[in-house]
Amino acid sequence: MKFTFQIPTKVYFEKNCITNHLEIFTYCGSRAAIVTGKHSAKASGALDDVTNVLKNAGIAYEVYDSVENNPSIETVEDITEKVKAFKANFIIGIGGGSPIDASKAIAVLAANEMHAADLFKNDFTKALPIVAIPITSGTGSEVTPYSVLLRKDMETKVSFGNSLTYPAYALLDPGYTVSMNDKTTVSTLIDAFTHVMEGYLAKRSTIFSTMMSLEGMKTFAECIPGLKSKKYDYNFREKAAYVSLMGGLVIAQTGVTLPHGLGYCYTYFHQIPHGIANGLFVREYLKRCETTVKEKVDVVLKLLGENSVDSFGDTLEQLIGKPPKLDQEQIEQYAKLSLLQAGSISNTPFELSEEDIARVWEKQNDHAE
Ligand code: NAP
Ligand code: FE
């Protein structure tokens, strides 16, 4: 047996955890930069809870609410300038994965004299402490070191992160996810599912990550009736937040695999949300996995209560629809860009040549609208 396990983030998972744990903000610093998106932090109630706690604790703060979905390096550079001018000594990221990932980049850029493009070298040695407050149930970014940023110069998304970019604290209150609309609820939960599933099948899976993957897939299965009926009661929200947390804990150890690597093209060129983009590859992915790790795919299907990959593929199609039809030029372009995701490809539990990747993209058209 051989494994490593690292999770330096202290996690609080409870209703009202922000107001219940005022002290953690005072441990982090005296000047807070709140990094978030345009609407959701307000709509969810999380921003009000945070600012009330900061006022009570006498912590100065500024709110930067310009993080877009799939944050770009230009956005994080722009916010960093303001964070430096304010002399913030810690960052609070409130949001889905986009604001939390942006927080990690800003935490590094604000602590170092460097350009955003150099983040991807991963050789920085300082970062401001981060408090992560997830309000989607999807990325698990609150417990991972990864920050995924959009690189317009490369026409794809690229991630960075090292042990310094784990948030110091993760405050999960499933109540903040209630304001998500149907599409974001589905997309983010499918993302969380792909994390636990991909981590389970990944070459880098460990005995520890497997434990959390199994728990995550079992709990995701309990969410499927709610996803189908669109009845999102508190019990559903709590379970979804738990799957998302499991997903983050898993991929922090294992990394992601093919669906994540290829899904970026659907997001970049077709504006398909991250979770749906990954989900669209799951049917073909599991079929390919059956050729090398069939016993593991059987476990996935059993946990999901499905009797074949195609029956699960049909369940997913009912929830997220079909992939867009691509022409030959797009297939060739996406296959080429997919090769940039070398980490995800090498972690996939079957061998993939350049031609194989092009074939995966062609195969997607068999299921297209
Ligand atoms: P997101 O991009 O952060 O947010 C999607 C949309 O949902 C936004 O319009 C957002 O509004 C809205 N929203 C979020 N929470 C809401 C709430 N509680 N109520 C109402 N609306 C809400 O979505 P995400 O799927 O969580 O994050 C996706 C990003 O994370 C991608 O860039 C992906 O690549 C990355 N990712 C990171 C990791 C990691 O380990 N770091 C893992 C997987 C994916 P606002 O515009 O107002 O914010
Ligand atoms: Fe993801």
Q: If you take atom 27 of ligand 1, which residue's CA is the nearest one?
A: 97
> 125, 112, 45, 44: which is closest to 80 by C-alpha?
112
Choosing from 38, 42, 76, 139 the residue with most ligand 1 atoms within 8 A of its CB, the one to mutate for a pocket test is 139
Does residue 193 have its Cβ closer than 6 Å to ligand 1?
no
Ligand 1 atom, smallest distance to 191 CA: 43
Does residue 336 have its Cβ closer than 6 Å to ligand 1?
no
Does residue 38 have its Cβ closer than 6 Å to ligand 1?
yes
Q: Which two tokens stand for residue 207?
A: 């005995």
* Ligand located closest to 187 CA: 1
CB-CB neighbours of 113 under 10 Å: 5
State pLDDT tens for residues 227-274: 999 999 999 999 999 999 999 999 999 999 999 999 999 999 999 999
CA 341 to chain centre: 16
Q: Strand, helix or coil at 15?
A: coil
User: How far, in Å, is the centroid of ligand 1 from the Cα of 332?
Assistant: 29
Ligand 1 atom, smallest distance to 104 CA: 41
State pLDDT tens for residues 22-42: 999 999 999 999 999 999 999
Q: Strand, helix or coil at 260?
A: helix
Q: Strand, helix or coil at 302?
A: helix
- What DSSP designation does 242 have? H
State pLDDT tens for residues 37-61: 999 999 999 999 999 999 999 999 9
Confidence label for 140 from pLDDT (cuts 50, 70 and 90) = very high
16: CB partners within 8 A, 6+ apart = 49, 173, 175
Predicted confidence (pLDDT) at residue 1 exceeds the cutoff of 90: no
The pLDDT value recorded for residue 369 is 84
Ligand 1 atom, smallest distance to 177 CA: 18
CA separation for the pair 283, 3 (Å, rounded)? 30
Mean pLDDT, residues 87-113 taken together = 98
User: How far, in Å, is the centroid of ligand 2 from the Cα of 290?
Assistant: 22
> 160, 112, 360, 157: which is closest to 272 by C-alpha?
157
Q: Are 17 and 245 in contact (CB under 8 A)?
A: no
Predicted confidence (pLDDT) at residue 304 exceeds the cutoff of 90: yes
Does residue 200 have its Cβ closer than 6 Å to ligand 1?
no
Q: Are 105 and 76 in contact (CB under 8 A)?
A: yes
User: How far, in Å, is the centroid of ligand 1 from the Cα of 97?
Assistant: 4
Q: Strand, helix or coil at 23?
A: helix
Predicted confidence (pLDDT) at residue 332 exceeds the cutoff of 90: yes
